[in-house]
Amino acid sequence: MRARRKFRRAADKIPELNGNDNLVGRIGEFIALQFLQIKLRRKKLVRNTSAVQKGYDIIADGEKISVKIITSENLSGRTTPI
Chunked in runs of 10, what are the mean pLDDT values of the chain (82 residues)? 85 78 82 88 81 78 86 65 53
The pLDDT assigned to 78 comes to 65
Task: Give a yes or no: residue 24 inside a domain.
Answer: yes
The pLDDT assigned to 81 comes to 56
Q: Is the overall model pTM greater than 0.75, yes or no? A: no
Task: Give a yes or no: residue 72 inside a domain.
Answer: no
Its domain, for residue 60, covers: 2-65
Name every residue whose Cβ is closer than 8 Å to that of residue 40 and which is 6 or more positions away in sequence.
Answer: 60
Distance, CA of 22 to CA of 1 (rounded, Å)? 13
DSSP SS3 for 60: strand
The pLDDT assigned to 53 comes to 66
Task: Give a yes or no: residue 50 inside a domain.
Answer: yes
Question: For residue 16, what is the DSSP state?
Answer: G
